[in-house]
Structure 1
Amino acid sequence: MWTRHHKKRKIGRLVLPAVTIAFLGYFGYHCIHGDYGLIAAEHFEKRRVVRERELAALVDQRKTLENQVALMSDGSLEKDMIDEKARYQLNMSRPDEIVIFNSYFKN
């Protein structure tokens, strides 16, 4: 009876570490550079901060507009406010007046 003996190959010892390194390298790369990785999270954070600033500016603008509407609503109608707003919108004044526009009512 013949028996075959195989030599142990050194390449077989490197297969599992090579697969492990490839696996970790793939997921490590995508953990940093992927769509939801660390770099993308940094970009999302920068955009979030910018949007929060824009939101704060819009909230302030809305409060200003709400105050203007409250001044012109029924019961507390102020003629000076209506006159000022109409002059600004129509860009008109009397000949004996000096008009200095403030950026208060700009859109």
Structure 2
Amino acid sequence: MQTRSRIRAFFFALLLYVVAGGVIGYFAYHAYNGDHGLMAKRNYEQDVVRLETELAALKSQRQALEHKVSLLDPRSIDPDLLDEEGRKQLDFINAKDLVLIKGEKMN
């Protein structure tokens, strides 16, 4: 009788440690790899850096476009920009312009 109760107590304690280790392992795994774990946090931080870089590029592009639009304001139009846009729209070339065509060799 005495040996059976010691064996039973040993296996009960072993079972308790295995179950507790399994529960701790489960939560540790999901704390690292879960939807809100450490890996997801690192991926979110990388996305934030990438999107902030893209935002800065888009802001500078928008600022350049706003500047160009301000130069086309009818109250104070830039004559050079007007000339450039008019030639581009009408495919017009002045006799004094030098035209370089890509792909052809000049002798």
What TM-score range do you get, normalising by the shorter chain?
0.7 to 0.9
* TM-score calculated relative to the size of structure 1: 0.75
Residue 68 in structure 1 maps to residue 68 in structure 2: yes
What secondary structure does 1:77 align onto?
coil
Residue 19 in structure 1 maps to residue 19 in structure 2: yes
Q: Which runs of 5+ in 1 are unaligned?
A: 101-107
Shift of 1:15: 2.2
Distance 2:19 2:33 in 1: 21
Instruction: Give the equivalent residue in structure 1 for 2:49.
Output: 49
Shift of 1:21: 0.7
Cα RMSD (Å) of the superposition? 2.3
Q: 1:89 to 1:17 in 2, by over 3 A?
A: farther
Distance 2:45 2:75 in 1: 46
Query: Whose helix proportion is higher, 1 or 2?
Result: 2
Distance 1:68 1:93 in 2: 22
Question: RCO higher in 1 or 2 (8 Å CA, sep ≥ 6)?
Answer: 1
Moved more, 6-15 or 89-98: 89-98
Distance 1:90 1:28 in 2: 68
Equivalent pairs, count:
97
Q: Which runs of 5+ in 2 are unaligned?
A: 101-107
Q: How does 1:1-107 map to 2 (within 5 A)?
A: 7-8=5-6, 9=8, 10-89=10-89, 92-98=92-98
* TM-score calculated relative to the size of structure 2: 0.75
Shift of 1:88: 3.8
Shift of 1:90: 5.2
